[in-house]
């Protein structure tokens, strides 16, 4: 017989998509059930990272969008007793060949000591913010934590 699931931190990667909002809702519900916290990580895809590095994308606008998602998560958790923290991560690097949106998610999971992951599994839309469709399969294959793919 397996032991019961113990969850202290639920990690939910987001990328600015509508599917990210749904994933936040699931993460908050899971955290509430297990009396856990939620950590939201805003994952920046290749197009945004390249744009920031070449100054063709406004870094402050991207930071504002990431903050808006963190605030949305806090609003979703309001009244539940679930604590929400947030960060952001580059899901692409021109200097690290192994940097991938999925590896960024798993690195963050390790950093925040996440016990459970909720990741949107989006259709491929080739939008500048929609990077998690590339990360979902990687996370499902390599995560050591339980994963809910929405």
CA distances from 99 to 15, 96, 102, 150 (A): 16, 5, 8, 23
68 in any annotated domain: yes
In terms of residue numbers, what domain contains 49? 9-149
Neighbours of 124 (CB within 10 A): 8
Looking up residue 122, the CATH number of its domain turns out to be: 3.40.50.620
1 in any annotated domain: no
Element housing 116 (H / E): strand 116-119
Tell which residue, 19, 36, 43, has the closest CA to residue 150.
19
2 in any annotated domain: no
- Tens digit of pLDDT for each residue in 11-28? 999 988 888 999 999 999
Contacts of 47 (CB under 8 A, 6+ apart): 128
- The domain total for the chain is 1
- Tens digit of pLDDT for each residue in 133-144? 778 889 999 999
Q: What is the mean pLDDT of the chain?
A: 87
99 in any annotated domain: yes
4 in any annotated domain: no
3 in any annotated domain: no
Note the pTM of the prediction, 2 decimals. 0.88
């Amino acid at each position: 017989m397996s032991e019961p699931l113990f969850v202290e931190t639920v990690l939910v990667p987001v990328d600015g998509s509508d599917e990210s909002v749904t994933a936040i809702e699931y993460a908050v519900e899971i955290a509430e059930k297990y009396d856990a916290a939620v950590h939201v990580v805003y994952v920046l895809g290749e197009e945004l990272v390249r744009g920031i590095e070449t100054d063709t994308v406004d870094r402050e606008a991207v930071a504002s969008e990431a903050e808006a998602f963190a605030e949305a998560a806090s609003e979703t958790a309001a009244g539940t007793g679930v604590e929400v923290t947030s960060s952001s991560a580059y899901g692409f690097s021109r200097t690290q060949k192994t940097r991938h949106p999925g590896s960024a998610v798993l690195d963050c999971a390790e950093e925040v000591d996440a016990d459970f992951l909720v990741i949107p599994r989006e259709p491929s839309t080739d939008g500048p913010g929609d990077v998690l469709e590339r990360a979902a399969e990687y996370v499902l294959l390599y995560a050591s934590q339980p994963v809910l793919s929405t």
